[in-house]
Structure 1
Amino acid sequence: MSDDLVVVTVTYSPGPHLNRFLATLSHATDRPVTVVMADNGSTDGAPEEALARYPNARLLPTGGNLGYGSAVNRAVAEYLTDSDNNDFFIVANPDVQWGPRSIDILLEAAARWPHAGSLGPLIRDPDGSVYPSARHQPSLVRGGMHAVVGPFWKSNPWTAEYRQERREPSERAVGWLSGSCLLLRRSAFEEISGFDERYFMYMEDVDLGDRLSRAGWQNVYVPAAEVLHDKGHATGKDPARNLAAHHTSTYTFLADRYPRWWQGPLRWTIRSSLAARADLVVRNSRRKRAKGRRK
């Protein structure tokens, strides 16, 4: 396996998505590939079926629902060794479908960007629209205004700037890339000790991009490579719980960036604002879900 490109995907009852992920992988590269399914406690049998069907698949039970970053770290520690010839590996959600040569195009871009710690493709939603997966880091003003007014004023300038959604797709260094599909340089990943395992879900990719940048690496958007992402297949099972988790992770991220004692009032303000916003969006989500059941 030392010559294989390792592709890590975190499974949690992925259903038919996993088969499409594995079936389309041959479109992405001609290189030998080993797919590691870091399984966080699936109950639908999909990882076991994939293991029987695809000879290049490996199943790594994590022992419980560890969260996304922790499961990836476990797979990297288990399957990437010092004897491996590849300094790159892929991390991707199991609901990704691979576009033609998408992995090869990412690897070719990595040769052009020797300081790239992460590289990400253009990501399309199922309707064909482009998902804004390459973004600025969320500063207090830009990220704060996006969080506060974004749900009510979709076209606000802070959200547009943060998401870079009005820019034409171009190969460039960005603040962070969506963790739904990443080519990662192993040496950079190990230098920053991988994903921060305090993030159970959400913001682990924002944090990873920020720490790579702080360590002198770049996060490079490569829109010539394309994948389709049927996002939300797992998070949609309990949207209210996941909205609350998103706000918890956001506070963890921001509090880390303002750790000084004299920044305590700022952290308190951030925590209070996020708690109020979480309460609002969770209640709204539950109201919509209850209304949908009554129809």
Structure 2
Amino acid sequence: MDAARALAIVVVNYASAGLLAENLVATADAVPDARIVVVDNRSSAEERALVESLCTAQGWHLVAMHDNAGFGGGVNAGAAAAFDELGATDILLLNPDARIDARSVALLADATADGMTVASPRVEDVAGRTWFAGMDVYLDDGSMGGPRRRDREPDARRLPWLSGACLWIPKDVWALVGGFHDAYFLYWEDVDISVRAARAGARLRVVDDALAVHDEGATHRSDAQRPEAKSELYYYYNIRNRLLFAALLLDPADARAWSRSAWRNAWQVLLRGGRRQFVRPLAPLRAAWRGVRDGRRLLAQAGSPTGPAV
């Protein structure tokens, strides 16, 4: 990495001190020149004490939030600390349940050297399966697809986006887009900032030779849950925020199409948790109903003179 550049790794934590000790310590050891910023969205006094102790022992910069500002709000607070207090020129967002090695960080640094490229590594799960290698959201119906779908539907209207699980953003791009939109709270913030960055002139790039490992869902899964199980929080915000994205960034015709396909897309989100959950379906179906209801309300508000109430 160019000596004139300074990297800060920003991690937003919520009740995940154990994951920080497991993953962020390994990443920090691999990239000793990086500043480490931990944003602790408040969950409990006990968790705060654990995070404070870990940050003190490791020499990390702690941003202690007074409440839970969500992922976007947490990233914005961490980025402010990284850029304004620590003198970073670039930030690398990393989930508490993810880790990355020195070689991959160097590859991301090379890919973003022009200051106007936002980059993600290829991301694998703990079993070595590809979890992220580029993704698109399709404008006709709001569905998602990876690289293989691009080959099948080369003429489809789509918007590429990069995963916030491990995402490199230069300071110039951050300033250009104004950071994350904190109305999402959880999920879809990375889709939103990717699209806004691309529309503002930044390039989006997946660096295939760089690799991060991500234990998806570890931050929102109890020890008793099966690995594929998802929380009501996961379902609700994934379903609601698809429609919030449409309200904020799409033209009225596409937004209406997304509203019509809301239940079909909600069902696809529910299936990410496996079919066995439908033995007791109340929780996932309740989350889906609330997500569609609240998302459609935001779409309706987008047509008002003041826009969506977010």
TM-score range, shorter chain: 0.7 to 0.9
Task: Give how far 1:163 is off.
Answer: 1.1
Query: What residue number does 1:29 align with?
Result: 31
State the identity as a percent: 24
Task: Give how far 1:42 is off.
Answer: 3.5
* Inter-partner Cα distance in structure 2 for 1:194 and 1:106: 20
Ranges in structure 1 where 5+ consecutive residues have no aligned partner: 147-161, 169-173
Residue 239 of structure 1 is aligned with which of 202, 206, 231?
231
Task: Give how far 1:229 is off.
Answer: 0.5
CA contact (8 A) 2:122 2:211 kept: yes
* Inter-partner Cα distance in structure 2 for 1:276 and 1:135: 19
**What are the residue-to-residue correspondences of 1:175-254 with 2, within 5 Å?**
175-237=160-222, 239-254=231-246
Query: What residue number does 2:111 align with?
Result: 109
The answer on 1:70 being equivalent to 2:73 is: yes
* TM-score, normalised relative to structure 1: 0.76
CA contact (8 A) 2:9 2:37 kept: yes
Q: String of CA shifts for 1:84-126, please: whole Å, max 9, x gaps.
A: 3x42111111111223422112102223x5531x111111101
Query: What residue number does 1:164 align with?
Result: 147
Residue 258 of structure 2 is aligned with which of 226, 247, 270?
270
SS in 2 for 1:136: strand
Query: For the structure 1 residues 108 and 48, does the alpha-carbon distance in structure 2 shift closer, same or farther, using more than 3 Å as the test?
Result: same
Task: Give how far 1:138 is off.
Answer: 2.9
* Inter-partner Cα distance in structure 2 for 1:221 and 1:282: 27
Query: What residue number does 1:150 align with?
Result: none
Aligned residues: 260
* Inter-partner Cα distance in structure 2 for 1:16 and 1:8: 17
SS in 2 for 1:24: helix
SS in 2 for 1:198: helix
RMSD: 3.1
Query: For the structure 1 residues 136 and 186, does the alpha-carbon distance in structure 2 shift closer, same or farther, using more than 3 Å as the test?
Result: same
Query: For the structure 1 residues 23 and 133, does the alpha-carbon distance in structure 2 shift closer, same or farther, using more than 3 Å as the test?
Result: same
Query: What residue number does 2:249 align with?
Result: 257
SS in 1 for 2:112: helix
* Inter-partner Cα distance in structure 1 for 2:166 and 2:206: 11
Task: Give how far 1:202 is off.
Answer: 0.8
SS in 1 for 2:205: strand
Query: What residue number does 1:53 align with?
Result: 57
The answer on 1:139 being equivalent to 2:143 is: no
CA contact (8 A) 1:121 1:224 kept: yes
CA contact (8 A) 1:14 1:46 kept: no
Q: Which amino acid aligns with 2:139?
A: S
Task: Give how far 1:167 is off.
Answer: 8.6
The answer to which structure, 1 or 2, has the higher relative contact order (CA under 8 A, 6+ apart) is 1
Query: What residue number does 2:40 align with?
Result: 39
* Inter-partner Cα distance in structure 1 for 2:122 and 2:34: 21
